[in-house]
Amino acid sequence: MKKTTLLLTAAMGVFALTACGPKNSAPKSWDPSVCDTLGGEEPAAWDTTKAANGGKSYVYSPAADRTEILGKLEKWAVDNKLTGLTLYEDGAYVMYNENIKKGTNSYIPGYGFGILGEGSITADLESEQNAKWKRYYHSLSADDPASLNYMNDKGSEVADFLSYTAGSYWDTVMNETKDGYQWIPSLAKESRPVPQDLNSATGMASTYKFHVKTGSEFKYATNSTKYAAFNNREVELEDYVTPYKIYYTNSYGLARTSENLTGSGSILGAANVVKQTTSTEMTDEIWAGIGIKSGTDAEGGYLQFTFNQPCTPFYAMYYLASSMFAPVPAEFISTLGNGSFKDGVAKWGNFSVDMSESPLDTYLSTGPYKLETWENKSQVVYERNPNFQLAGRYSIAGVKISIFPAVKNDPNAAFEEFLAGKTSSCSIPMDYLDQYKNDPRTTQTVGSTTTKLNLNTCTQEQWEELFGEEGTIAATPEDDYWECEPAMSNKNFVSGLSFALDRKTLAESLGRTPSANYFGSAYMIDPENGIAYNSTDAHKNAMKDMLDGTDGFGYSLEKAKASFKKACDELICSGVYKPGDTIKLEMAWQEPSDFDIFGNPIKEMLEEAFDNCGGFLKLEIKNWAGAVWSDVYYSKMMVGQFDIGFGGVNGNTYDPLNFLEVLKSDNSSGFTLNWGVDTNAVDGTLFYDGQYWSFDALWSAADSGTFAIDGMASPLAEFAQATLGDEVEGGIMTVALPYFAAAEVDASFELTKIVANGYVGAGIDEYFESAEVITWNTMEYEGVDYLLVFIPQTVLDEFAGMYNDEDNYGYFMIDFFGCSTICGTTGAETYMGTTYILNPAIYGE
Amino acid sequence: MVRYTIKRLILAVVTTFIILSLTFILMRLLPFQKPIGTNDAQYSYYMTQVHQGFVVDFAVENKSYGELLWKYIDSMGGRHYFYQTPVMTQYFSWLKNIFTKWEWGTSTYVMQNVSALTIIAKRIPTSMYLNILSVIWSVPLGIFLGIVAALNKNKPVDHIISTSVMVFISVPGFVLITFLIWIFGYKLGWLPTQWAKSTDGDLAKFLSYIIPVFVLSFGSICGYCRFTRAELCEVMESEYLLLARTKGLTKRQSILRHALRNAMVPIVPAILAEFIGILGGSMILENLYGINGIGDLFITALNAKDYNVLFVDMALFTTISLVAGVILDLSYGFIDPRIRMGARK
């Protein structure tokens, strides 16, 4: 009886559960007929006769036109998911200690609350043991960079420590209404650099001049006892030039070779010197080729800079206002190196080899603060620099940075320190957000960086082209090849990932500002008038397709499921996956602590949306973090070793168009993080000025001018390889080299130099000795342009030694240099390419 | 005894040399770790290796040098073919630098251009103070608890001590320190939440020792306690102790004069071994509490592949272990009169 009752109850239970459950209308097995309904996605048809061709430049176009170009480029990038999956802006809820009086209560993008400049500290920090430091601003840093030499820093850590103690030509102060900021001269005398070759039509110039403070107007400061002789030493005009000479001397091997070398704001002739193959010391001759001059006139010492590209006085000021080039006496560098300038450069801003000297000794202050203590891995303390030009406006007496490695492993550690009264401010971590979000001490900041999930959407073939053993971006040993997950190169799958991200919920739970925008709020299209790019119609149009039908931040579960479903159908129908397969992705993070904060919630969002789309595939996401935070950039995203990677980069907030360079697939910026789309391909969707463009071509045309062929950015000259002949006349062998050189409308190219660059022996120092004597001529034969390169007997004699060695010496190389002229603007002499002169004994005639 | 000591010390030096040589050669014999990075970054990495003498850079292929590590055409068209320098060449130049210049190389990451030896030398005192304090604190306490447990064998006191020891020995140091910082640092505010700075007051410096010393000694206390209890229990059941009691010694006298001394024979060497163990165990703790010691340095150097610093750090640990081994051997003679070092038969 009991058994019967039990069975009956169980049967009724099962029946009830079945009846009450949601009616699932989705098919239970995959239906192959779905493939018949899938239409193949044909590339958009476009009129190839309208492709951009010839020299193109929108560098001097009105601001409205350049904004329109920026909007079109942004839209193309968003549509192709080149901008990754945006998450949030780096602004946060920040809590300030009660003893901090801010300069303004409204956060000013790009400036902050004006704590050190316009703010003050109204009471002692009780937890501080040192009486003198009780009214210093207290903060934490996870690491000690052990250096103030920003020129040799691969990251940005040194810059944070340097900013307190290094001056710049111009500085910023809060405006009178406390809702913005303005630029004022600091080491410079004029409010803006003065143009020397002004084009009145464009308001731009390439050469700018300004006077600098020297002599009794400006003195160095240091607390070093060993180098006390340099304390209060007057700054001389030559001291302003010394840091540039150090930076541009490539034999010093300084790691940071990006500032002032490429793109907008690059100095004429600098890149050619820094990026030379051979180890070169700075000589007067080399220095003469660089666009920096100094001199003295009736108003005192001045500096003159010539940029590669013309710009307005405002931008010239902005490009030059870098604390990296704060003045330093050559005598100080030599003293550091006990008479050796080179040894002094190695020691400048660093600890000495025996650690008897710290950056306190090896760096002279020119900024608002000077070093008071540098205790390695413990604390770095600055006190106000009485010699600073704008000393009066810094009311806070000092800054103390405690090194606190625990913050790398514990996201709450820094905030616990703040709550214990040990620091002046701290952003509120997720765990404490609800508790302190509405605290009167809490404020909200706006960021300049949008943090994203960057994407590797390469197919395996594309990946190997970019990152394989012969990769154009990074050569990877075969054992370390990344296995690209095929789903990542499916557009609908990537769209699904984007729609599935509930940015608003995620960001709010973290105390951040959700954002679907590629640019942070601080990016200005018109910095002098304070107009943010994100407020323009160009930006709104660019984002329209992505945001329509979503919560305003790109989230829509329905759209996500629809995109995923379509992606699954396409992937199964194409035979890439079988029904029931699992798509396995790896999401790379900076720290293991990111797993809980970002990784797991995002993994859950994406997996849930995908697994419920009815696509008969599963999604499995695995979190990854490296040994150090920067691994996610250098070992993952920058070298294609990832599916999805967390991170963001920021650029010049006054030049958003230039910042788009980091999206180019040729990695010309060195910081491309999203891979898989060829940005120099024309797909018929980027149309401007009545012409079709590739992303690279339109970007280059707006940034610096470009030469386009069939809508693609192209080199102005190309050189084919040639084979050595046997005839030598007058000690010169003539080699005919088929080449192409543009002579189109608005674009031309002039060859200026050919240098033999092959090595004749097994040692690195054995160059051709006759490099400078190679001459050339041009001729046309049967419709093909030829470059006749006259190779001297001396070069041939050197090559003779390797001529018959079939193993090693099959060719030598010659390098080409020249100047390009685009739309009337002639650029500086640059390296144009290399070609091979082949040994006929090996390669045949 | 003196001869024996000198002989052992010479042997320790020879052993150190052999260990370091083998370590160097084996580390260098490992497959070359090819960097992953942009071409510029890889070029920079290889050139650093060239400057350090571990890699050679040729302008053309040179097949006599074995496997080509990487070839690169730089931005100016220059060719670079990188090969590993023969291991023994590296070894002899390494030896030459040490013996002729006492040069162990400079740091490539932890503190760029600073001598690896200097970096270690600056950090040893902190780690040593911590570890010595930990031993000073843990040995008497551990032994005392062990004695109490042994004397009260199978009584409630013994059960409480033994159970507590089992529980606490299972708690990893990094869990314990996080817990202690949270309770005594953030919640109660009695102790510092990180290692004191040189500019902090004496009281703050003293207080900042409490948490790390306690955490470092926690495992040791439990170890000594278990060891002492086991040894003492065994000795107390021996016949010679029974004989001592029958000869009229009180329990207290027999334990102090006979049982404890005999029980100490294996415990004293364990103290030295524990000291070395603590040195290794302080790596994570130093990192979490912001202590500028050699344990934290080892982790940082290992993560950043700063081989020169890593190698000096390893050399130090090896030397400490070997010297401790010599002291350990010599200590037997002092503790146990039956053992005579180097005595002729």
- Inspect the interface and report whether the beta carbons of A807 and B78 lie closer than 8 Å: no
Asked if the model's pLDDT at residue A641 lies above 90, the reply is yes
Instruction: Please state the φ and ψ torsions of residue B84, each to the nearest 5 degrees.
Output: -75, 135
Asked if the model's pLDDT at residue B64 lies above 90, the reply is no
pLDDT at B338: 65
| Residue B246 burial (10 A CB sphere; 0-12, 13-18, 19+) | exposed
pLDDT at A801: 52
Q: Report the residue from A476, A813, A834 with minimal CB separation from B36.
A: A476
Asked if the model's pLDDT at residue A725 lies above 50, the reply is yes
Chain A residue numbers touching B40 (CB-CB < 8 A): 670
Q: How far apart are the C-alpha atoms of A670 and A258, rounded to whole Å?
A: 9
Asked if the model's pLDDT at residue B221 lies above 60, the reply is yes
Q: Scanning every residue of chain A, which has its alpha carbon at the shortest distance from the alpha carbon of B204? A: A129
Residue B188 contacts A, CB cutoff 8 Å:
no
- Inspect the interface and report whether the beta carbons of A759 and B59 lie closer than 8 Å: yes
- Inspect the interface and report whether the beta carbons of A275 and B61 lie closer than 8 Å: no
Interface of B with A in 208-267 (CB under 8 A): none
Among B70, B83, B112, B178, pick the best mutation site for testing chain A contact (most A Cβ within 10 A): B112
Interface of B with A in 91-120 (CB under 8 A): 106, 110-115, 118-119
User: pTM of this prediction?
Assistant: 0.72
Residue A691 sits in the same domain as residue A751? no
Mean pLDDT (whole number) for A683-697: 95
Residue B39 contacts A, CB cutoff 8 Å:
yes
Q: How far apart are the C-alpha atoms of A230 and A334, rounded to whole Å?
A: 13
pLDDT at A203: 80
Mean pLDDT (whole number) for A63-92: 92
pLDDT band at A805 (very low <50, low <70, confident <90, very high): very low
Q: Which domain holds residue A706?
A: 680-713
Residue B307 contacts A, CB cutoff 8 Å:
no
**Domain closes at, from A697, A713, A729:** A713
Asked if the model's pLDDT at residue A804 lies above 50, the reply is no
Q: Scanning every residue of chain A, which has its alpha carbon at the shortest distance from the alpha carbon of B188? A: A420
A398-412 pLDDT, tens digit each: 999 999 888 877 788
In a domain, residue A633? The reply is yes
**Domain closes at, from A661, A679, A697:** A679
Name residue, tokens 């239409």.
A39
pLDDT at A280: 60
Residue A693 sits in the same domain as residue A741? no
Chain B residue numbers touching A401 (CB-CB < 8 A): none
- Inspect the interface and report whether the beta carbons of B114 and A352 lie closer than 8 Å: yes
In terms of pLDDT, which residue wins out, A296 or A509?
A296
- Inspect the interface and report whether the beta carbons of B115 and A764 lie closer than 8 Å: no
Our count of domains for chain A comes to 4
Q: Scanning every residue of chain A, which has its alpha carbon at the shortest distance from the alpha carbon of B184? A: A420
Q: Scanning every residue of chain B, which has its alpha carbon at the shortest distance from the alpha carbon of A377? A: B292
- Inspect the interface and report whether the beta carbons of B112 and A373 lie closer than 8 Å: no
A259-316 pLDDT, tens digit each: 777 777 889 888 777 655 455 668 888 898 899 999 999 999 999 999 988 888 998 9
- Inspect the interface and report whether the beta carbons of B36 and A639 lie closer than 8 Å: yes
In a domain, residue A432? The reply is no
Q: Scanning every residue of chain B, which has its alpha carbon at the shortest distance from the alpha carbon of A414? A: B193
A200-218 pLDDT, tens digit each: 777 889 999 999 999 988 9
How does strand A85-96 pair with strand A450-455?
Answer: antiparallel
Q: How many CA atoms lie within 13 A of A484 on its CB side?
A: 24
pLDDT at A691: 95
pLDDT at A21: 41
Residue B290 contacts A, CB cutoff 8 Å:
yes
- Inspect the interface and report whether the beta carbons of A129 and B199 lie closer than 8 Å: yes
Q: Which of A168-172, A403-407, B276-280 holds the top average pLDDT?
A: A168-172
In a domain, residue A434? The reply is no
Among B34, B47, B49, B60, pick the best mutation site for testing chain A contact (most A Cβ within 10 A): B60
* Helix extents (H) in B53-195: 87-101, 116-151, 156-169, 173-180
In a domain, residue A149? The reply is yes
Chain B residue numbers touching A808 (CB-CB < 8 A): 60-62
Least confident of A547-551, A624-628, A760-764: A760-764
Asked if the model's pLDDT at residue A682 lies above 90, the reply is yes
pLDDT at A808: 46
A643-678 pLDDT, tens digit each: 999 988 777 788 899 889 999 999 887 789 999 999
Count of beta carbons in the 10 Å neighbourhood of residue B206: 12
Domain of A769: which CATH number? 2.60.40
- Inspect the interface and report whether the beta carbons of A376 and B122 lie closer than 8 Å: yes
Min Cα distance A536 → chain B (Å) is: 36
Asked if the model's pLDDT at residue A760 lies above 60, the reply is no
pLDDT band at A18 (very low <50, low <70, confident <90, very high): very low
Residue B205 contacts A, CB cutoff 8 Å:
no
In terms of pLDDT, which residue wins out, B105 or A358?
A358
| % pLDDT > 70, chain A | 88
* H-helix or E-strand spanning residue B30: none
Residue A666 sits in the same domain as residue A722? no
In a domain, residue A220? The reply is yes
Residue A580 sits in the same domain as residue A672? yes
Q: Report the residue from B110, B193, B200 with minimal CB separation from A129.
A: B200
pLDDT at A826: 76
Q: Report the residue from B61, B76, B185 with minimal CB separation from A808.
A: B61
Residue A666 sits in the same domain as residue A685? no
Q: Scanning every residue of chain A, which has its alpha carbon at the shortest distance from the alpha carbon of B182? A: A416
Contact A598, A505 (CB under 8 A): no
Name residue, tokens 């005639």.
A845
Among B110, B115, B197, B308, pick the best mutation site for testing chain A contact (most A Cβ within 10 A): B197
A217-267 pLDDT, tens digit each: 899 999 999 999 999 999 999 999 999 998 888 667 665 656 777 777 889
Q: Report the residue from A133, A757, A762 with minimal CB separation from B78.
A: A757
* Residues near A739 by beta carbon (within 8 Å), at least 6 away in sequence: A717, A718, A719, A720, A785, A786, A787
* Residues near B128 by beta carbon (within 8 Å), at least 6 away in sequence: none
Q: How far apart are the C-alpha atoms of A452 and A85, rounded to whole Å?
A: 5
Asked if the model's pLDDT at residue A764 lies above 60, the reply is no
What's the mean per-residue pLDDT of chain B? 81
Contact A187, A167 (CB under 8 A): yes
Residue A493 sits in the same domain as residue A593? yes
Q: Report the residue from A253, A373, A757 with minimal CB separation from B77.
A: A757
pLDDT band at B86 (very low <50, low <70, confident <90, very high): confident
- Inspect the interface and report whether the beta carbons of B39 and A474 lie closer than 8 Å: yes
| % pLDDT > 90, chain A | 46
Q: What CATH number matches the domain at B116-335, 1.10.3720.10, 3.30.450.20, 3.30.70.260, 3.90.320.10?
A: 1.10.3720.10
pLDDT at B276: 66
The number of C-beta contacts closer than 8 angstroms across A and B is 165
Instruction: Please state the φ and ψ torsions of residue B188, each to the nearest 5 degrees.
Output: -90, -25
User: In this structure, which amino acid lies at residue B14?
Assistant: V
Chain A residue numbers touching B62 (CB-CB < 8 A): 762, 808
Min Cα distance B298 → chain A (Å) is: 13
What's the mean per-residue pLDDT of chain A? 85
Q: Which of A15-29, A396-410, A805-819, B94-108 holds the top average pLDDT?
A: A396-410
Least confident of A585-599, A729-743, B207-221, B268-282: B268-282
Residue B76 contacts A, CB cutoff 8 Å:
yes
3-class SS string, B207-248: HHHHHHHHHHHHHHHHHHHHHHHHHHHHHHCCHHHHHHHHCC
Chain A residue numbers touching B34 (CB-CB < 8 A): 477, 480
Contact A453, A646 (CB under 8 A): yes
Specify the 3-state DSSP secondary structure of A650. Answer: coil
Closest to A162 (Cα-Cα) out of A388, A381, A324: A324
pLDDT band at A155 (very low <50, low <70, confident <90, very high): low
pLDDT at A397: 92
pLDDT band at B342 (very low <50, low <70, confident <90, very high): low
Asked if the model's pLDDT at residue A510 lies above 60, the reply is yes
Residue A227 sits in the same domain as residue A157? yes
Mean pLDDT (whole number) for B159-177: 87
**Domain closes at, from A659, A689, A713:** A713
Q: How far apart are the C-alpha atoms of A182 and A419, rounded to whole Å?
A: 34
pLDDT at A1: 41
pLDDT at A803: 41
Chain B residue numbers touching A352 (CB-CB < 8 A): 114
Contact A435, A93 (CB under 8 A): no
Q: Report the residue from A350, A641, A670 with minimal CB separation from B40.
A: A670
pLDDT at A16: 47
**Structural domain spans, chain B:** 34-87, 116-335
pLDDT band at A317 (very low <50, low <70, confident <90, very high): very high
Contact A664, A696 (CB under 8 A): yes
Residue A696 sits in the same domain as residue A766? no
